[in-house]
């Protein structure tokens, strides 16, 4: 193998992969296309850092989905959508997305065999829809590539290369589970291929499951705020809490049991059977007892690929794949109150038989309607998300010579579509609720009936509900009557036609000048349609408006590779690569983006490389045409006197002017917030509204690095790359906390206009957050890769692979001209992530030991005291006070054995040392303070592969 090929295979980023590209030295080296360039080259060295993962390495991770595998890359940040985000209400929930360089999953372009893969309406690509069993390798380009591929390639490009041909069949079976026997995973795949003289056909089936992990099964996750604070973070309780409309008292029904809702309520019609609500744990509910800590998913895929060799050096190739994913999320029963939908309030009628202050108890003269709080724990909220992905592509390609120089061309069509549906249970039909809490009476048969004795309503038409009596007073009939089944449909389609031409125009002393050019026409359309009942606002389900949109784009690109010097002193190689792309969008207009890169080898062993690239991301369909949806955000009000930012006199002054002065406390559903994690708003906010005035994000990416492969140490490769990415005019969905902080901490008037406070209480009762072109985002750091394949010994072949990413800066600018806020080193944004793998093989045996390291981070203080806050007064992006979490690491082991009958047995343990999870203040999980994207337990697995 040439040193050039070894450099990219062993040191390009992921190491020890020479087998993926190795060729017999006696055979002529073929020209191949590497991710990041359209020009085929014999030499696989590139000016851009590329990381490669083979199918063998994927299996050795013990993980069954592409998303899980790629989320462990050292360059990958915390996922935008956590597998523990059971409260997340968007359509992406249940999928897996890669957040390269912490720049956002929608700023990463995902290709399959060099073609765009499906995207959601909001521009996210679900990596779980590509079955790992069909993958030959994955190439990760950690550099901007908009000039080559167009929109979205800002953080980089993931190109999943599927298997091209197969002779015979392969069967793979996998089983795995946590030590506590949950989180069970299964993977089954069967593939078969046949090849003729001019044709090849491959067919595959796969089934993958990832099992549920319930929060209630572990002490560290069974309490919302952790075992040390068992009575904190509790939500609205299941026992009726009642208030008159003038709020002159606040009472809760007497009952047995505690925060699990496991008691029995007293007679709710007797006013003497109530006590004053004090916010204590007995009257509230531990919502984690009904919530999933990690959501289950299932994926079924059918795949086929065919190739036909045609006359005149032409080839026709087509790929078809259909995947069906199902994910389920369960959260606690709905925290119902009289104003769950402020536009349609529901009270307990003064003439309801069950009203303890109603006419049937205290008489008509003093009867009054009641405001209520009540969690419907009888029916937890369950959302089932079914997602179907269809991909079909067809390409006609060919090779020819012009002036004795090689050229290649292709024309192709690519269709990618995703269609999905959501089915939700556990929300309340407010129309029926109003009837159930309306006038009712005890009929002659001793049965409580809706209506009045003079104007009764048949039981078949209305079921009266003793909502105050709690779960022990409910019946299946009444729950069926008041509950609503919600539904929604969504989908997006990308159709594109492409034509490409590449080759060598003439030869210089240093080599051939390569060119590539092409055109593309792409249509993108999508929709997100909540059910009519959900749109009406008569359900406790989050009210939303429909999203529909479409745009087209016409593009043309050109690329030029020029070798300047070769084989001269201080320039064993010197070449430059230039590229540009013109894009014309129907919804916003024209954008042009270019790239320039170089490669320089002062000596044979050392490659120096660098890139300067413009990038852009066009607004997604949802960004522009999003209808918006209600959301009960978890947030921290900077005006909160305990956990906010009022220690800054300027912030305190702005808060006071807005009606949230000294001593102000942010109220959650059950009282003042109790930690720096904030809590869920009792008022519905609005998120995700589209903005037709959006324009593309623009970016400048700069990289400089080297690859060193010393000839005096065969098998050793070291690569170091500096990166700097700056995104301006960024399109972003702003969180509720950010809106409030931008208003009161940064004093930005546009964000103050987006929220409204109650003039009497100072509470934020309305907040609109959507998408906007705001400010800038930038990151800067280093990637280090070291690989060493040791000489073979009698004890086997040993190899070392190490990948490390260091983030020096990760800054956000709220608006142009505003101060930059640096998030590097804070929770979610580790400065250092590193993977170290030790490989060993001897005969039929092999083993891999991997250690993943995460540097320490700053987290919000859960409590401002010595136990929960290591740096009281310390500076962080949210203001003062932070808790420093130390570094952590996880180790994994995989052992394999090849049988004499073409089989392979592989067993492994992830998190070998059973590293226990830690409590954090701003977790990715909805149910607890534990992050669901880190190991919760030791995980065991076994896989068997059989070729036939």
Per the rule left: phi > 0, alpha: psi between -120 and 50, beta: everything else, 510 is alpha
Sign of CA dihedral 148, 149, 155, 156: negative
> pLDDT tens across 288-342, in order?
999 999 999 999 999 999 999 999 889 999 999 999 999 999 999 999 999 888 8
Cα 125–chain centre separation: 9
Check residue 382 and give its pLDDT. 96
Cα 401–chain centre separation: 46
Task: Judge contact between 274 and 252, C-beta under 8 A.
Answer: yes
Task: Judge contact between 450 and 440, C-beta under 8 A.
Answer: yes
Burial readout 712-732 (b: 16 or more C-beta within 10 A, e: otherwise): eeebbbbbbbbbbbbbebbbb
Three-class HEC string of 858-886: EECCCCCCCCCCCEEEEEECCEEEEEEEC
Task: Judge contact between 726 and 700, C-beta under 8 A.
Answer: yes
Cα 575–chain centre separation: 39
Of the candidates 390, 343, 180, the one whose C-alpha atom is nearest the C-alpha of residue 914 is 180
Instruction: Give the CA angle between residues 839, 845, 850 to the nearest 5°.
Output: 25
> pLDDT tens across 452-471, in order?
999 999 999 999 999 999 99
Three-class HEC string of 108-134: EEEEECCEECCCCCCCCCCHHHCEHHH
Burial readout 865-890 (b: 16 or more C-beta within 10 A, e: otherwise): eeebbbeeeeebbbbebbbebeebeb
Structure tokens at 413: 């069509």
Distance CA 936, CA 100 (A): 23
Cα 42–chain centre separation: 37
Distance CA 917, CA 931 (A): 8
Distance CA 107, CA 120 (A): 13
Of the candidates 600, 624, 703, the one whose C-alpha atom is nearest the C-alpha of residue 143 is 703
Distance CA 70, CA 754 (A): 37
Distance CA 46, CA 152 (A): 21
Structure tokens at 509: 């002393």
Distance CA 554, CA 217 (A): 53
Check residue 42 and give its pLDDT. 67
3-class state of residue 622 by DSSP: helix
Largest CA distance in the chain: 108
Of the candidates 78, 61, 127, the one whose C-alpha atom is nearest the C-alpha of residue 835 is 61
CB within 8 Å of 676: residues ≥ 6 apart: 636, 643, 860, 861, 862, 863, 864, 881, 921
Of the candidates 555, 528, 508, 457, the one whose C-alpha atom is nearest the C-alpha of residue 146 is 555
Distance CA 156, CA 111 (A): 11
92 CB burial (10 A radius; 0-12, 13-18, 19+) = buried
Distance CA 106, CA 104 (A): 5
Alpha carbon distance, N-terminus to C-terminus of the chain: 30
Q: Give the relative orientation of helices 736-744 and 649-657 as an angle to the nearest 10 degrees.
A: 100
Distance CA 639, CA 654 (A): 9
Task: Judge contact between 475 and 481, C-beta under 8 A.
Answer: no
> pLDDT tens across 778-791, in order?
999 999 999 999 99
Task: Judge contact between 154 and 731, C-beta under 8 A.
Answer: no
Task: Judge contact between 781 and 822, C-beta under 8 A.
Answer: no
3-class state of residue 461 by DSSP: coil
Sign of CA dihedral 365, 371, 377, 381: positive
Task: Judge contact between 176 and 945, C-beta under 8 A.
Answer: no
Of the candidates 712, 717, 640, 647, the one whose C-alpha atom is nearest the C-alpha of residue 679 is 640
Distance CA 773, CA 879 (A): 25
Distance CA 241, CA 252 (A): 4
Q: Could you please report the per-residue DSSP string of 39-72?
A: S-BSS---SS-EEEEEHHHHHHTT--BHHHHHTT
3-class state of residue 467 by DSSP: helix
Residue written as tokens 């089954």?
Answer: 188
Q: How far is CA 100 from CA 71, 263, 610, in A?
A: 9, 48, 19
3-class state of residue 231 by DSSP: coil
Spans of the chain below 50 pLDDT: 1-28
The 8 Å CB, 24+ separation contacts for 229-234 are 229/674, 229/862, 230/281, 231/259, 231/280, 231/281, 232/674, 232/675, 233/674, 233/675, 233/677, 233/679, 234/259, 234/281, 234/284, 234/285, 234/286, 234/287, 234/670
CB within 8 Å of 189: residues ≥ 6 apart: 131, 133, 134, 170, 171, 172, 204, 205, 206, 207
Residue written as tokens 């026997």?
Answer: 181
Check residue 43 and give its pLDDT. 63
Of the candidates 153, 196, 46, 33, the one whose C-alpha atom is nearest the C-alpha of residue 614 is 153
Distance CA 805, CA 821 (A): 21
Of the candidates 584, 594, 574, 506, the one whose C-alpha atom is nearest the C-alpha of residue 551 is 584
Distance CA 762, CA 765 (A): 9
CB atoms within 10 A of CB 736: 24
Task: Judge contact between 812 and 741, C-beta under 8 A.
Answer: no
């Amino acid at each position: 193998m040439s040193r050039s090929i070894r450099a990219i295979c062993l040191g390009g980023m992921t190491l020890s992969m020479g087998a993926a590209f190795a060729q017999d030295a006696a055979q002529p080296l073929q020209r191949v296309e590497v991710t990041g360039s359209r020009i085929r080259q014999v030499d696989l060295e590139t000016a851009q850092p590329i990381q490669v993962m083979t199918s063998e390495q994927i299996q050795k991770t013990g993980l069954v989905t592409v998303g899980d595998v790629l989320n462990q890359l050292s360059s990958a940040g915390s996922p935008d959508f956590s597998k523990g985000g059971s409260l997340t209400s968007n359509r992406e929930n249940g999928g897996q997305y890669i957040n390269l360089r912490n720049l956002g999953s929608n700023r990463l372009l995902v290709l399959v065999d060099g073609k765009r893969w499906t995207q959601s309406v909001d521009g996210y690509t679900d990596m779980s829809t590509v079955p790992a069993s069909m993958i030959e390798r994955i190439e990760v380009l950690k550099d901007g590539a908009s000039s080559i591929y167009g929109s979205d390639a800002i953080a980089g490009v993931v190109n999943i290369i599927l298997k091209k041909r197969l002779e015979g069949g392969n069967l793979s079976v996998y089983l795995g589970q946590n030590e506590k026997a949950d989180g069970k995973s299964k993977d089954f795949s069967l593939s078969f291929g046949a090849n003729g003289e001019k044709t090849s056909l491959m067919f595959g089936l796969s089934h993958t499951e990832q099992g549920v992990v319930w929060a209630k099964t572990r002490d560290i996750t069974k309490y919302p705020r952790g075992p040390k604070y068992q009575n904190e973070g509790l939500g609205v309780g299941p026992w009726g809490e009642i208030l008159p409309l003038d709020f002159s008292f606040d009472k809760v029904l007497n009952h047995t049991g505690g925060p699990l809702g496991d008691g029995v309520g007293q007679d709710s019609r007797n006013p003497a059977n109530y006590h004053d609500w004090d916010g204590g744990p007995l009257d509230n509910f531990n919502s984690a007892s009904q919530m999933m800590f990690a959501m289950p998913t299932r994926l079924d895929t059918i795949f086929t690929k065919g190739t036909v060799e045609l006359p005149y050096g032409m080839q026709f190739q087509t790929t078809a794949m259909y995947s069906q994913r199902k994910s389920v999320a369960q959260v606690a029963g709905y925290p119902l109150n009289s104003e769950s939908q402020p536009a349609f309030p529901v009270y307990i009628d003064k003439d309801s038989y069950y009203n303890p202050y109603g006419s049937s108890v205290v008489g008509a003269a003093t009867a009054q309607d009641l405001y209520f709080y009540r969690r419907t724990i009888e029916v937890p909220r369950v959302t089932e998300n079914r997602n179907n992905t269809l991909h079909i592509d067809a390409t006609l390609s060919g090779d020819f010579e012009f002036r004795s120089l090689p050229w290649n061309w292709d024309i192709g069509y690519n269709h990618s579509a995703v269609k999905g549906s959501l089915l939700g249970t556990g929300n309340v039909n407010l129309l029926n609720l109003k009837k159930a809490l309306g006038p009712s009476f005890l009929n002659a048969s001793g049965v409580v009936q809706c209506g009045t004795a003079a104007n009764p309503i048949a039981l078949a038409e209305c079921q009266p509900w003793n909502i105050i009596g709690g779960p022990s007073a409910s019946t299946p009939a009444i729950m069926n009557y008041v509950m609503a089944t919600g539904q929604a449909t969504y989908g997006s389609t990308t159709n594109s036609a492409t034509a490409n031409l590449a080759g060598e125009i003439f030869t210089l002393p240093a080599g051939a000048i390569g060119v590539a050019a092409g055109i593309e026409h792409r249509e993108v359309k999508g929709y997100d349609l909540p059910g009519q009942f959900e749109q009406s606002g008569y359900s406790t389900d989050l009210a939303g408006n429909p999203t529909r949109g479409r745009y087209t784009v016409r593009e043309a690109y050109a690329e030029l590779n020029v070798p300047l010097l070769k084989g001269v002193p201080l320039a064993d190689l010197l070449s430059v690569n230039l590229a540009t792309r013109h894009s014309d969008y129907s919804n916003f207009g024209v954008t042009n983006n270019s790239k320039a890169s170089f490669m320089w080898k002062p000596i044979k062993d050392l490659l120096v490389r660098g890139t300067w690239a413009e990038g852009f991301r066009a607004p997604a369909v949802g960004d522009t045409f999003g209808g918006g949806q209600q959301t009960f955000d978890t947030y921290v009000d900077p005006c909160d006197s305990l956990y906010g930012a009022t220690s800054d006199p300027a912030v305190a002054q702005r808060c006071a002017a807005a009606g949230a002065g000294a001593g102000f406390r942010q109220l959650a559903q059950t009282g003042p917030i109790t930690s720096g994690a904030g809590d869920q708003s009792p008022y519905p906010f609005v998120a995700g509204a589209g903005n037709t005035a959006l324009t593309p994000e623009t970016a400048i990416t700069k990289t400089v690095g080297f690859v060193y492969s010393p000839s005096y140490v065969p098998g050793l490769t070291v690569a170091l790359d500096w990166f700097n990415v700056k995104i301006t005019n960024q399109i972003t969905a702003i969180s509720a906390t950010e809106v409030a902080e931008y208003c009161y901490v940064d004093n930005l008037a546009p964000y103050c206009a987006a929220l409204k406070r109650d003039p009497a209480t100072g509470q934020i009762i309305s907040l609109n957050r959507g998408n906007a072109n705001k400010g800038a985002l930038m990151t800067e750091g280093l990637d280090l890769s070291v690989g060493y394949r040791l000489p073979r010994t009698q004890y086997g072949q040993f190899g070392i692979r190490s990948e490390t990413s260091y983030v020096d800066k990760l800054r956000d600018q709220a608006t142009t001209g505003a101060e930059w806020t640096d998030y590097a080193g804070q929770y979610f944004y580790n400065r250092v992530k590193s993977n170290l793998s030790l490989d060993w093989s001897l005969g039929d045996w092999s083993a891999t030991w991997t250690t993943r390291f995460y540097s320490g981070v700053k987290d919000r203080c859960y409590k401002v005291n010595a136990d929960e806050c290591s740096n009281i007064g310390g500076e962080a992006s949210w203001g003062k006070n932070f808790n420093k979490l130390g570094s952590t690491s996880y180790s994994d082991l995989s052992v394999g054995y090849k049988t004499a009958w073409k089989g392979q047995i592989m067993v492994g343990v992830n998190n070998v040392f059973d590293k226990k999870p830690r409590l954090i203040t701003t977790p990715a999980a909805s149910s607890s303070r534990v992050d669901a994207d880190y190991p919760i337990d030791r995980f065991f697995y076994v896989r068997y592969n059989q070729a036939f």
